[in-house]
Amino acid sequence: MREKFLPFILKFTVISLILFALWYWKGEYYYFLFFNSTIPNFLKLFGIELILLPLLVPLFYNFLPFISLILIIPGIKSPKILQKLLFGLLLIFIWQILLAEFLFLIHGESNTPSDAGLTLSLILYFLNWCIPFILWLILARKSLYAWFTTK
């Protein structure tokens, strides 16, 4: 298992660095434009106004490790990888919408949450960074089990 772990970590690191460079170069800007032009209008249909969106940009990075993890899963054929990748990205996108709304409701227009709101915010921030890894473990469980149990 040790001989499998180092290449896994190296692949994850290299792919993550490449994705982060692309994200930093142009991806963040375009994703923010997409998110900012679609989500507030969608939420207005339900009577929700989202005004803290620029403060949430750092929370959008959470899909980068998910993409890296899905791309390095051994033993999954390309169509399955694409299917798992798109499904996971959709779930992360929905999570980001929910997170943005929860944080808006917690912080309100004053941007100063109560003690309970601050605690809930911290839990949501932590969960935000766990989501990609949890999704990866769920979506790739069979391949990961086979990979870790074979010699």
In the prediction, which pLDDT does 5 show?
Answer: 79
In the prediction, which pLDDT does 55 show?
Answer: 56
Whether 100 has a pLDDT exceeding 60, the answer reads yes
* DSSP assignments along the chain, one per residue: -HHHHHHHHHHHHHHHHHHHHHIIIIIHHHHHHHHHHHHHHHHHTTT-----GGGGGGGGGGHHHHHHHHHT-TT--HHHHHHHHHHHHHHHHHHHHHHHHHHHHHHTTTT---HHHHHHHHHHHHHHHHHHHHHHHHHTHHHHHHHHH--
Range of the domain at 17: 2-149
Question: How confident is the model over 44-95, as pLDDT tens digits?
Answer: 776 766 655 555 666 777 888 999 999 888 766 778 888 999 999 999 988 8
Domain count, the chain: 1
Question: How confident is the model over 109-144, as pLDDT tens digits?
Answer: 555 666 777 788 788 888 988 999 999 999 988 888
In the prediction, which pLDDT does 81 show?
Answer: 85
Question: How confident is the model over 14-34, as pLDDT tens digits?
Answer: 999 999 998 888 888 888 787
In the prediction, which pLDDT does 57 show?
Answer: 62
- The model's confidence at residue 108, banded by pLDDT at 50, 70 and 90, is low
